[in-house]
């Protein structure tokens, strides 16, 4: 992309992804998860095309964000990807047998991948290029305070209540906590976009870029929607194929691996955009993208899945296992320490990435 102009491939690839999704709709026997050489070849091609469509989403989202300004631009991408995540988890939840822990594992995966993997890469690469980087402590503290509160209440508390011996809220508790999560996120959005907007939109002097003209902005907005629809349409097939593929292996916790793969797939656009911003020394913008995606996931995905769970009568287990609970609390403490001074360096990024490596190990060897 030159300046604010995405390349030609960013228009072609999402269209190709939509056409492939249409082919799967018309010819279900060719979709991933079915037997046959053609289905296997198209499954591999669909994964590659899905990744390409995610890259295209980043390019168009950058143009939209440049026109809308911060934090509205990153907020748009964050909410869009959250919608994708809910649709994919719901489709997998309804696929074959019930997966009561899938929503929990997907949300946990997003929190761990973002707060250790993506944030670690942003801090490490940004610091290696620019030595120390500065952030707005008030803005980052806002993200962390809401994320930590929701993480404890929605992923740890369910196992501690009288109703939660199995790690699940009762129906009343689930709906009430979902309302609390939405209310808290709404309060955060008000602070982010209205009352304390300045805490989330700063960047170093000399890095301001001219916003794109109206025509490129409208085209980018349309293509952003097309790219997101393409990712939604293909990810449903790819996610189901992941689940079927992993079922062939003797995994101790297949839902955890499936949730991690789905989260990694859906976080690709935001992850790329966040790392790019950190490399350009726009660390606050980078954290807005990364932490915003994690916060939106826990605040919106769990309430949405809670409503679906109640409507279809399938239970949803939210309480984390012991090793996951320990890692999540460690990640929260580490995030507080890393951003506590308002400056970050390469050591902060390295520690986050080491915790991420431990998380990956425990996915396969819990």
Query: Which of 91-100, 102-111, 249-258 comes out lowest in average pLDDT?
Result: 91-100
State the pLDDT at residue 289. Answer: 84
Residue-wise pLDDT tens digits, 146-164: 999 999 999 999 988 876 6
- At 343, phi and psi to the nearest 5? -135, 145
pLDDT at 205: 46
pLDDT at 334: 95
Q: Average pLDDT of 350-355?
A: 96
- pLDDT, mean of residues 281-303: 88
- Is the previous residue joined to 300 through a cis bond, with omega within 30 degrees of 0? no
Q: What is the mean pLDDT of residues 83-110?
A: 76
Which of 327, 324, 318, 322 has the alpha carbon at shortest distance from 154? Answer: 318
- Residues 232-258 have pLDDT tens digits of 777 777 766 666 677 677 778 888 888
Please tell me the predicted confidence (pLDDT) of residue 3. Answer: 46
Answer with the residue of higher pLDDT: 6 or 264. 264
Q: What is the pLDDT of residues 17-44, one digit of tens each?
A: 888 888 888 877 777 666 666 666 777 7
For the cut 90, the answer to whether the pLDDT of residue 183 exceeds it is: yes
Mean per-residue pLDDT over the chain, rounded: 82
Cα distance between residue 334 and residue 240, in whole Å: 34
Predicted local distance difference test score (pLDDT) of residue 187: 92
pLDDT of res. 1: 42
pLDDT in tens, 191-203: 888 787 776 765 5
Higher-pLDDT residue of 300 and 313 is 300
| pLDDT for position 309 | 84
Distance CA 48, CA 45 (A): 5
Residue 69 has pLDDT above 80, yes or no: no
Supply the pLDDT for residue 45. Answer: 80
pLDDT tens sequence across 121-147:
999 999 998 888 888 888 889 899 999
Q: Residue 207: which pLDDT band, with cuts at 50, 70 and 90?
A: very low
In Å, how far are 5, 61, 248, 286 from 37, measured between CA atoms?
A: 39, 36, 18, 42
pLDDT the model gives residue 2: 45
Give the model's pLDDT for residue 206: 43
Compute CA 344 distance to the chain's CA centroid, rounded to the nearest angstrom.
23
pLDDT at residue 173 tops 50 = yes
Mean pLDDT for 73-81 is 71
Provide the pLDDT for residue 180: 96
Nearest to 293 by CA among 114, 165, 104, 34: 114
Classify the C-alpha dihedral 56-59-65-67 as positive or negative.
Answer: negative
Q: Is 2 helix (H, G, I), strand (E, B) or coil?
A: strand
């Amino acid at each position: 992309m030159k300046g604010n102009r995405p390349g030609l491939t960013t228009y072609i690839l999402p269209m190709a992804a939509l056409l492939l999704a249409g082919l799967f709709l018309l010819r279900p026997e060719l979709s991933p998860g079915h037997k046959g050489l053609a289905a296997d070849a198209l499954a591999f091609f669909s994964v590659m095309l899905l990744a390409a469509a995610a890259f295209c989403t980043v390019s168009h989202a950058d143009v939209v964000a440049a026109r809308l300004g911060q934090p509205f631009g990153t907020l748009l991408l964050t909410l869009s990807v959250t919608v994708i995540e809910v649709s994919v988890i719901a489709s997998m939840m309804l696929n074959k047998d019930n997966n009561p822990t899938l929503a929990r594992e997907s949300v946990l995966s997003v929190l761990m991948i973002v707060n250790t993997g993506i944030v670690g890469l942003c801090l490490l690469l940004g610091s290696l290029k620019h030595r120390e980087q500065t952030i707005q402590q008030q803005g980052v503290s806002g993200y962390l305070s809401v994320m930590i509160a929701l993480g404890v209440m929605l992923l740890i508390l369910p196992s501690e209540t009288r109703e939660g011996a199995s790690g699940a809220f009762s129906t009343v508790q689930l709906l009430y906590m979902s309302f609390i999560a939405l209310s808290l996120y709404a309060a955060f959005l008000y602070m982010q976009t209205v009352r304390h907007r300045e805490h989330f939109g700063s960047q170093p002097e000399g890095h301001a870029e001219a916003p794109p003209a109206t025509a490129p902005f409208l085209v980018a907005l349309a293509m952003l929607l097309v790219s997101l629809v393409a990712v939604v349409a293909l990810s449903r097939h790819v996610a189901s194929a992941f689940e079927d593929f992993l079922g062939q292996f003797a995994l101790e916790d297949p839902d955890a691996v499936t949730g991690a793969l789905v989260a990694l797939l859906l976080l690709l656009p935001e992850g790329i955009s966040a790392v790019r911003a950190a490399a350009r020394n726009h660390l606050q913008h980078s954290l807005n993208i990364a932490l915003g995606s994690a916060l939106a996931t826990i605040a919106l995905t769990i309430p949405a899945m809670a409503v679906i769970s109640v409507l279809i009568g399938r239970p949803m287990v939210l309480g984390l296992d012991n090793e996951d609970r320990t890692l999540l609390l460690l990640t929260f403490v580490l995030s507080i320490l890393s951003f506590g001074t308002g400056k970050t360096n390469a050591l902060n990024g390295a520690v986050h990435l080491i915790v991420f490596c431990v998380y990956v190990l425990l996915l396969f060897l819990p």
